[in-house]
Amino acid sequence: MSAASEAWTSDAWDSVLPFQLDALGVRGRLVRLGPSLDEIIERHHYPLAVARPLAEAMTLCAALATSLKYDGIFTLQISGDGPVRLLVTDLTTDGALRGYAQFDSWKLAIALGGSAEAPDGYVPRLFGHGRLAFTVDQGQHTERYQGVVPLEGPTLADCAHTYFRQSEQLPTGIKIAARRHERDGKGHWRAAALMVQQMPEFDAGRLDIDPEQREDDWRKAVILMASATETEMLDPALPAARLLLRLFHAERPRVFARRAFAARCRCSRDRIDRVLRSLRREELGDLRDTSGKVVVKCEFCSTEYGYDDGDLDRIYASAA
């Protein structure tokens, strides 16, 4: 394998590199996704105009989820009245990433006006009026946290900024890039998210810094983050640590242990059994195929689970 091919397939692409700018009282993370996006997106054969928002959303999900302390599932969901009705992605604390989209092909073609790709600033055109929701689920014995904001702004990063402003969270800056590249006759996705967040004075060890200096430091961090180009963020030959040093060299970024992600769905026959068991048997008619089997398809990974009448007898007998 050539050095170039190794760069494209490196595990470092499916990971987050946390970092801290002690001189500015700022922490951050650089997320890069590659092979996991290929596995999730390409199996669905989404149009480019749907695939790119999904790639960006999965990258945003990873950046936000890894900025929190939780043990469970972080879910990002976008719903609207536009051509793309629904987009869902989630990440577990052990790094299992997945996502899918629902869209109207006819409305999408009209919205794009003959173009194949989503334009920059696509949120209003593709999603219309809707909302962005973040959910943290840590299990049945804990209270779920959910944050919901309207879709405001041309990009997903702008929508996330709206959430941080309205929820009175710490000042946060996010930049996202995603593109599909042709290589070896196949399409490959690369996406990246760069996120910076102002730290509380106590955590940053900067209690003696006056508010004006603190604001100047924050503004500098955002300007430096925004200076990252799409080419740099998606360059397979530019390691993440080197990119951070290039952007924040005067601030001497301190990096921490990398966390890896993998495309992995949580669906299973046992889970589908429980879903069917929660329904009345006479309600399953719409799920039967031409052979009479009940077929359930996972939206995330497209795996199909088939049940004949004997299987259904077993499921409902166990519920008695």
Residues 139, 284 within the same domain? no
Based on the domain organization, do 42 and 76 belong to the same domain? yes
Q: How many CB atoms lie within 10 A of CB 98?
A: 24
Say what the pLDDT of residue 141 is: 65
- Helices 105-112 and 48-65, axial angle in degrees (round to 10): 100
Domain count for the chain: 2
* Nearest-angstrom CA–CA distance, 199 and 65: 17
Task: Calculate the alpha carbon distances from 285 to 212, 271, 274, 279, 299 in Å.
Answer: 65, 20, 17, 11, 19
What is the C-alpha to C-alpha distance for residues 12 and 34, in angstroms, rounded to an integer?
Answer: 9
What CATH number has the domain bearing residue 240?
Answer: 3.55.30.10
Q: How far is CA 125 from CA 111, 120, 157, 174, 238, in A?
A: 7, 10, 16, 21, 33
3-state secondary structure of 172: strand
Q: Residue 243: CB partners within 8 Å, gap ≥ 6?
A: 30, 228, 232, 233, 235
Q: Are 175 and 234 in contact (CB under 8 A)?
A: no
Cα gap 287→297, rounded to integer Å:
10
* Prediction pTM value: 0.89
Mark whether 165 and 275 lie in a shared domain. Answer: no
Question: Both 274 and 236 in a single domain?
Answer: no
Whether residues 224 and 275 fall in one domain: no
pLDDT of residue 320: 58
Domain of residue 166, residue span: 3-263
Residues 269-280 have pLDDT tens digits of 999 999 888 888
Ranges of residues in the chain whose predicted pLDDT is under 70:
1-11, 139-141, 168, 202-207, 319-320
DSSP code string of 72-109: SEEEEEEEESSSEEEEEEEEETT-EEEEEEEE-HHHHH
Q: Give the chain's end-to-end CA distance (angstroms, integer).
A: 57
CA dist., res. 71 & res. 257, Å (int) = 18
Asked if 121 and 127 count as a contact pair (C-beta separation under 8 A), the reply is no
Same domain, 205 and 277: no
**In a shared domain, residues 89 and 238:** yes
Distances (CA, A) of 295 to 33, 94, 160, 298, 311: 32, 30, 37, 10, 12
- Does residue 8 sit in the same domain as residue 56? yes
Residue 8 is predicted with a pLDDT of 43
pLDDT of res. 115:
87
Pairing of strands 84-92, 259-260: unpaired
Per-residue model confidence (pLDDT) at position 317:
85
Tell me the CATH number at 308.
3.90.1280.10
137 touches 72 (CB < 8 A): yes
CA 210, chain centre distance (Å) = 36
Q: What tokens were used for 101?
A: 């989209």
Per-residue model confidence as pLDDT tens digits over 213-261? 889 999 999 999 999 999 999 999 999 999 999 999 999 999 999 999 9
Same domain, 64 and 130: yes
- CA distance linking residue 90 with residue 30, whole number of Å: 18
Residues 155 and 258 in one domain: yes
**Same structural domain, 159 and 293:** no
275/251 same-domain check: no
